[in-house]
C-alpha cells in the first residue's frame, strides 16, 4: 500500500512538467522540490535527532554564496563550484556542530540561531566578497542550466537520491541509534553508545543535505543575497517540518509544498496571504497536531476501518504518541 | 507562441486561460505589471508607489496612446526570491508587456537578469542601486528615480562651497543605499576641500541612535542618510540630545522625504537636503500633481509616488512614439530610452545612454508652511547626471560606491 502510493507520487512527479500549463508553474514545482529538500535537512536534526535548529539557512547560504563566488566572481566551471560548495558547506556544518552540540534543548535552539545570524552578518557586512545586501547575480553561463525543464529534473533527481539515501540511513543501525539518542539519551549512554558522536554525525548529515539544497537554490534563483540566510527562512523551514509531519521521511516535502504554494499562488489572489498562512498552520495544529502527512494517514486509516464495519477502530485511529 | 508544453497542456485541457492571446488588435489592453510590496517593513513605500501610478492612470482615464490599460500589481513581500517568482508570474502568466517597480534595490537586482533574458522592458521606478545603470547594464532597463548618489554629489559641493563646512561626520543606514549615498557625498565634498571626520553606520533596524549621536562633536555639520522611518527616529533623538541648533544636519533625499516628513515635527525644521524632487516646487505640473495626490492620500507625494508617476509619463511618451504597440518590445524600449519627459512634476528630464535620468537636483530646506512641513527649494542644480561632472568612462572604471570606497578619511 505504502509503496504503491510512493510509486504513484514518483510517477506524478516525473510527468508533472507535462501536466502543468506553463513555465511559471514549473518554476513553482521546482521551488517546492528545493525548499522540500531544505526542510528535509531540518527534519533530519529536528525529527530524528530531536534537536530543533533555527540556523539552517546559514548552511543554505554558505553553499549558495560559495557557489556564487566560485562560479560567478572567479569564473570557475559550475561543477567545480558545486564541489567547492559541497566541501565548504559540509565543513561549516562540521565546525558549527562542534559548537552547537555542547548544548541541547532550548540552548541548542539559541546557539544555532546565533550561528545562523553570524553567517547572515558576514554575508551582509563582508561586501568585498558577498556584495552586501545587493547580493550576487549569476548569469546564464555560471549555472548548471537555466532551462526550467532541465532544472526541474535535476532537482527531482537530487531529491530522489537524497531521499533514498536518507531512508537507508534511517533504517541502518546508525539511524536507529540517532533515534535512540533522541528518545533515551541516558539509556543509550549507559548501553555504551557515544551519544555525542551520534548527534554530531546527525548534525553533519543534516548540514550536508542543507548544503545540497543551497546549491540547488542558487541554480533556480540565480541570485543570492543575505535575505536567503535570514531567520525567517530558517524558521519557515521548521514550520514546513512541523506542518508536514516531524520525524517522517516525506512529511517535510508536503509541508514545503503547502508553504511554497501559499506564498506564491495564494498571494496572487489575496493580499492577506500571510494571514491565510497563519490560519492554515492553526488548522494543522488543531486538526492534525502530528502534521499533515501522519494526520492524513490517520484519518484515511480511520475512514478505511469505518468502512470495514465491525473492524475494531483501535491503534490506527489514535494519534501518533510521538506527535509534538 | 506555443511551445510543446503548452500544446500538451492544451491537449490535457487543463488551463486555456494561460495562453498568450495574440493581441494585435488596437483595443486589446496594454498590460502593465507592477512589483510592489504590500506586507512587511517596505509596505509603506509600496503603497506610495502604487498611489503614484494609479493617479497617473486615473488622469489618463485608464487609456494610454488610445489603448486601455490593464494594471496588475504583485506583492513581493520585500523578499528577493519572491520578487523573482512574482516577476516570472507577471511575465509568463499575466503576459504583461512591461514591469514597473520594485521598491528595494535588492529586489531589482534579483529580477534584473531574468527580465533581460525574457526581454521585458523594465521601468524601475524607485530602486536606486548604482550598478543597475552603471556596471550591470541590462539593455531592457530604464530608471525613473535616480542613482543613490546622484543627489548627494551636488550636496557635497553645496556643503563645501555655499555652506562653507570644512569638517563633517556622516551617519547612515548600514546597507547599500545608505553607503552609496554617503560615498557620493564624501567624494564631492572632499574634492571641494572638505574633510570627513568619521563615518558612522547604524543597522537598519537600530532601536536607538544614542550611541551614535554621542560620537558627534567638533564638526561643522552632520550628513544623515536614512530611509523609511529611520530618519524620523534619528532626528527626534538628535533633538532630544540637544544637538539641534548646535551642529546642523544636512541630509540625503530620503531622510526628510515627503513620505515621512508629515510625521515629523520641529526637529526637522531647517534641515538642508538634496533631492530630485520636492513637493514644494512651484510649477503648474507639480502643483496639480500635489493637489491630486493629496486628495487620494491626504499627504504630500514623495520619492516613491513621484518615481512611479514619472514611470507612467515616460511610458506614455514611449507608447505614443510606437503608436501604442506595446507588443513591439524592442521598439518600446528604444523609444523609452529616447523619451524626454517635459511634463513631470519634478521638472524636465531625459534618460542618459545608460537608462538613468539626467534631471534637476534641488537643494531643499525644511520649512513650516501653514500646518505642514515642506521642502522649500533654495537652489537648483540643472540637469545633473548620475556621473556628476566626472567623465562616465573614468567613473565606471572605478569600483562601485561602498562602505569603504571612497576610503575613510
Interchain pair A135, B113: CB under 8 A: no
Select from B79, B89, B106 the Cβ nearest to the Cβ of A24.
B89
A275 within a domain of the structure (yes/no): no
- Optimal mutation site among B12, B50, B104, B110, interface A, most CBs of chain A within 10 A: B110
Domain ranges for chain B, please list them: 25-146+283-355, 152-275+360-397
Residue whose C-alpha cell reads 562540521 in the numeric block: A94
Which ipTM was obtained for this model?
0.86
Identify the pLDDT of residue A16: 94
Contact B94, B23 (CB under 8 A): no
Please give the torsion angle defined by the CA atoms of residues A298, A300, A303 and A308, in that order, rounded to the nearest 10 degrees: -100
What's the structural domain count of chain A?
1
Three-state DSSP state, B401 = coil
Distance from the first to the final alpha carbon of chain A: 26
- From chain B, the residues in CB contact with A22 under 8 A are 5-6, 9, 18, 92-93
On the CB side of B32, how many CA atoms lie within 13 Å of its CA?
27
Task: In whole angstroms, give the CA distance from residue B150 to residue B277.
Answer: 12
Identify the pLDDT of residue B389: 95
Interchain pair A264, B85: CB under 8 A: yes
CATH class of B152-275+360-397: alpha beta
- Chain segment A265-297, per-residue pLDDT in tens: 887 787 787 888 889 989 998 999 899 999 998
Say if residue A280 is exposed, middle or buried (CB neighbours under 10 Å; 0-12, 13-18, 19+). Answer: middle
| Chain B residue at shortest CA distance from A126 | B403
- From chain A, the residues in CB contact with B112 under 8 A are 137
Task: In whole angstroms, give the CA distance from residue B367 to residue B344.
Answer: 24
- From chain B, the residues in CB contact with A268 under 8 A are 74, 89
Task: In whole angstroms, give the CA distance from residue A163 to residue A159.
Answer: 6
Task: Determine the structural domain holding residue A72 and report its residue range.
Answer: 24-228
Identify the pLDDT of residue A133: 86
Task: In whole angstroms, give the CA distance from residue B270 to residue B276.
Answer: 19
Residue A278 is inside which H or E element, if any? helix A273-287
- Optimal mutation site among B3, B88, B135, interface A, most CBs of chain A within 10 A: B88
Can you say how many angstroms the Cα of residue B218 is from the centroid of all Cα atoms in its chain? 34
Give the three cell numbers for residue A297.
Answer: 494517514
Q: Which of A105, A41, A109, A56 is nearest to A252 (CA)?
A: A41
- Optimal mutation site among B1, B3, B4, B5, interface A, most CBs of chain A within 10 A: B5
- From chain B, the residues in CB contact with A23 under 8 A are 5, 88, 92
Phi, psi of B36 (to 5 degrees): -120, 180
Name every residue whose Cβ is closer than 8 Å to that of residue B308 and which is 6 or more positions away in sequence. B34, B48, B49, B50, B51, B52, B53, B56, B100, B101, B125, B126, B144
Interchain pair A271, B89: CB under 8 A: no
Say if residue B88 is exposed, middle or buried (CB neighbours under 10 Å; 0-12, 13-18, 19+). Answer: buried
Q: Which of B142, B147, B145, B146 is nearest to B318 (CA)?
A: B142
Interchain pair A228, B81: CB under 8 A: yes
Please give the torsion angle defined by the CA atoms of residues A198, A200, A206 and A209, in that order, rounded to the nearest 10 degrees: -110
Nearest-5° Cα angle at B121, B115 to B127: 75
Q: How far is A233 from chain B (nearest CA, A)?
A: 11
Residue whose C-alpha cell reads 537598519 in the numeric block: B204
| Chain A residue at shortest CA distance from B7 | A21
Interchain pair A19, B402: CB under 8 A: no
A57 within a domain of the structure (yes/no): yes
Task: In whole angstroms, give the CA distance from residue B64 to residue A163.
Answer: 53
A280 within a domain of the structure (yes/no): no
A186 within a domain of the structure (yes/no): yes
Name every residue whose Cβ is closer than 8 Å to that of residue B381 and which is 6 or more positions away in sequence. B154, B360, B361, B362, B363
Contact B81, A229 (CB under 8 A): no
- From chain A, the residues in CB contact with B175 under 8 A are 124, 132-133
Q: Is the peptide bond before B102 cis (omega within 30 degrees of 0)?
A: yes
- Chain segment B128-148, per-residue pLDDT in tens: 999 999 999 999 999 999 999
Select from A227, A263, A271 the Cβ nearest to the Cβ of B38.
A271
Q: Is the peptide bond before B383 cis (omega within 30 degrees of 0)?
A: no
Chain B residues interacting with chain A (CB cutoff of 8 angstroms): 5-6, 8-9, 12, 14-15, 18, 38-39, 74-75, 77, 79-82, 84-85, 88-89, 92-93, 105-106, 109-110, 112-114, 117, 129, 131, 136, 175-176, 179, 402-404
Select from A22, A223, A232 the Cβ nearest to the Cβ of B18.
A22
Task: In whole angstroms, give the CA distance from residue B68 to residue A1.
Answer: 56
Task: In whole angstroms, give the CA distance from residue A129 to residue A131.
Answer: 6
Identify the pLDDT of residue B43: 87
Task: Return the CATH number of B25-146+283-355, one of 3.30.365.10, 3.40.50.2300, 3.40.50.2000, 3.40.50.12780.
Answer: 3.40.50.2300
What residues are paired with B72 via a beta bridge? Answer: B33
Residue whose C-alpha cell reads 528577493 in the numeric block: B80
Identify the pLDDT of residue A130: 92
pLDDT < 70: residue spans in chain B:
1-26, 408-409
- Domain B152-275+360-397 in the same topology as domain B25-146+283-355: yes
Interchain pair A225, B112: CB under 8 A: no
Task: In whole angstroms, give the CA distance from residue B172 to residue A188.
Answer: 54
> DSSP letter at B91?
I
pLDDT < 50: residue spans in chain A:
315-324
Amino acid at each position: 500500500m505504502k509503496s504503491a502510493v510512493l510509486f504513484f507520487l514518483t510517477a506524478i512527479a516525473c510527468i508533472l512538467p507535462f501536466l502543468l500549463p506553463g513555465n511559471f508553474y514549473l518554476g513553482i514545482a521546482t521551488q517546492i522540490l528545493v525548499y522540500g529538500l531544505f526542510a528535509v535537512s531540518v527534519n533530519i536534526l529536528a525529527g530524528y535527532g530531536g534537536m530543533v535548529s533555527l540556523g539552517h539557512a546559514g548552511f543554505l547560504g554558505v553553499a549558495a554564496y560559495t557557489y556564487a563566488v566560485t562560479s560567478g566572481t572567479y569564473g570557475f566551471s559550475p561543477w567545480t563550484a558545486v564541489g567547492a560548495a559541497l566541501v565548504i558547506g559540509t565543513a561549516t556544518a562540521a565546525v558549527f556542530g562542534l559548537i552547537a552540540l555542547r548544548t541541547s534543548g532550548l540552548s541548542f535552539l539559541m546557539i544555532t540561531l546565533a550561528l545562523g545570524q553570524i553567517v547572515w552578518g558576514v554575508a551582509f557586512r563582508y561586501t568585498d566578497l558577498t556584495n552586501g545586501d545587493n547580493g550576487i547575480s549569476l548569469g546564464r553561463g555560471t549555472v548548471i542550466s537555466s532551462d526550467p525543464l532541465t532544472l526541474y529534473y535535476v532537482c527531482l533527481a537530487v531529491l530522489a537520491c537524497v531521499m533514498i539515501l536518507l531512508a537507508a540511513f534511517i533504517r541502518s543501525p546508525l539511524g536507529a541509534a540517532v533515534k535512540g539518542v533522541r528518545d533515551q539519551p541516558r539509556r543509550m549512554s549507559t548501553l555504551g553508545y557515544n551519544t555525542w558522536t551520534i548527534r554530531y554525525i546527525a548534525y553533519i548529515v543534516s548540514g550536508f543535505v542543507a548544503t545540497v539544497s543551497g546549491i540547488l537554490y542558487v541554480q533556480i534563483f540565480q541570485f543570492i543575497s543575505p535575505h536567503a540566510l535570514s531567520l525567517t527562512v530558517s524558521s519557515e523551514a521548521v514550520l514546513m517540518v512541523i506542518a508536514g509531519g516531524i520525524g517522517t521521511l516525506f512529511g517535510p516535502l508536503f509541508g514545503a509544498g503547502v508553504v511554497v504554494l501559499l506564498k506564491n499562488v495564494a498571494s496572487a489572489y489575496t493580499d492577506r496571504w500571510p494571514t491565510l498562512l497563519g490560519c492554515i498552520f492553526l488548522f494543522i495544529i488543531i486538526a492534525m497536531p502530528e502534521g499533515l502527512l501522519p494526520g492524513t494517514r490517520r484519518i484515511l486509516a480511520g475512514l478505511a476501518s469505518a468502512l470495514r464495519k465491525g473492524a475494531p477502530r483501535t491503534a490506527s485511529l489514535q494519534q501518533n504518541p510521538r506527535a509534538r | 507562441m506555443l511551445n510543446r508544453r503548452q500544446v500538451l497542456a492544451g491537449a490535457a485541457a487543463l488551463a486555456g486561460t494561460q495562453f498568450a492571446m495574440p493581441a494585435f488588435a488596437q483595443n486589446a489592453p496594454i498590460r502593465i505589471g507592477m512589483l510592489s510590496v504590500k506586507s512587511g517593513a517596505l509596505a509603506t513605500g509600496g503603497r506610495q508607489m502604487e498611489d503614484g501610478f494609479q493617479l497617473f492612470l486615473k488622469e489618463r482615464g485608464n487609456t494610454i496612446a488610445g489603448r486601455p490599460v490593464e494594471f496588475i500589481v504583485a506583492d513581493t513581500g520585500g523578499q528577493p526570491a519572491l520578487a523573482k517568482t512574482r516577476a516570472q508570474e507577471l511575465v509568463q502568466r499575466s503576459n504583461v508587456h512591461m514591469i514597473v517597480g520594485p521598491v528595494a534595490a535588492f529586489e531589482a537586482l534579483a529580477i534584473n537578469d531574468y527580465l533581460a533574458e525574457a526581454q521585458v522592458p523594465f521601468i524601475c521606478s524607485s530602486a536606486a542601486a548604482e550598478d543597475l545603470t552603471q556596471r550591470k547594464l541590462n539593455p531592457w532597463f530604464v530608471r525613473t528615480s535616480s542613482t543613490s548618489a546622484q543627489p548627494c554629489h551636488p550636496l557635497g559641493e553645496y556643503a563645501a562651497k555655499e555652506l562653507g563646512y570644512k569638517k563633517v561626520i556622516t551617519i547612515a543606514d548600514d546597507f547599500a543605499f545608505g553607503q552609496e549615498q554617503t560615498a557620493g557625498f564624501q567624494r564631492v565634498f572632499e574634492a571641494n576641500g572638505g574633510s570627513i571626520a568619521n563615518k558612522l553606520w547604524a543597522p537598519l533596524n537600530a532601536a536607538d541612535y544614542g550611541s551614535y549621536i554621542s560620537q558627534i562633536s567638533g564638526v561643522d555639520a552632520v550628513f544623515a542618510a536614512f530611509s523609511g522611518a529611520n530618519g524620523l527616529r534619528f532626528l527626534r533623538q538628535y533633538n532630544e540630545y540637544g544637538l539641534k541648533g548646535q551642529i546642523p544636519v544636512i541630509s540625503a533625499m530620503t531622510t526628510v522625504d515627503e513620505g515621512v516628513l508629515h510625521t515629523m515635527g520641529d526637529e526637522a525644521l531647517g534641515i538642508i537636503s538634496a533631492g530630485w524632487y520636492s513637493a514644494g516646487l512651484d510649477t503648474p505640473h507639480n502643483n496639480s500633481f500635489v493637489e491630486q495626490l493629496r486628495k487620494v492620500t491626504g499627504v504630500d507625494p514623495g520619492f516613491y509616488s513621484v518615481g512611479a508617476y514619472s514611470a507612467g509619463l515616460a511610458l506614455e511618451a514611449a507608447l505614443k512614439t510606437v503608436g501604442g504597440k506595446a507588443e513591439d518590445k524592442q521598439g518600446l524600449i528604444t523609444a523609452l530610452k529616447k523619451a524626454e519627459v517635459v511634463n513631470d512634476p519634478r521638472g524636465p528630464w531625459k534618460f542618459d545612454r545608460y537608462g538613468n535620468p539626467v534631471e534637476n537636483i534641488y537643494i531643499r530646506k525644511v520649512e513650516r508652511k501653514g500646518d505642514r512641513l515642506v521642502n522649500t527649494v533654495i537652489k537648483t542644480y540643472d540637469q545633473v547626471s548620475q556621473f556628476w561632472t566626472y567623465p562616465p568612462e573614468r567613473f565606471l572604471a572605478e569600483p562601485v560606491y561602498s562602505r569603504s570606497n571612497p576610503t575613510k578619511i
